[in-house]
Amino acid sequence: MKKSELIERLAEKFPHIAKADVEKIVNSMVERVIDALRKDDRIEIRGFGSLFVKARKGREARNPKTGVRLTIEPKHVPFFKAGKELKELVNKNTQGK
């Protein structure tokens, strides 16, 4: 689902809220998540999951096509870990397909 589809579905579910306001809410939430991750804060939504930043160490690598050795710098990457309830709901709905 794209962000625009999420906004559309939320606007349909809450017809008393203008679509423009729903868009502002979704954009604001995304901005807050990004701000928190930039500050290395962990975001936890019970029943859904956690968003946090993992540090990756630098390493030596090789381009498989050319064989040239590369140095990959250390970096931080966002990471999502699904919560137990979300995992159970997803598995419940996908079994028997």
User: What amino acid occupies position 62?
Assistant: R
| pLDDT score of 92 | 84
Residue ranges of domains in the chain: 3-94
Pair 58, 73: CB distance under 8 Å:
yes
CATH dotted code for 3-94? 4.10.520.10
pLDDT per residue over 29-62, tens digit each? 999 999 999 999 999 999 999 999 999 999 999 9
- C-alpha–C-alpha distance, residues 36 and 41, integer Å: 5
The predicted structure's pLDDT at residue 95? 63
The string of pLDDT tens digits covering residues 16-38 is 999 999 999 999 999 999 999 99
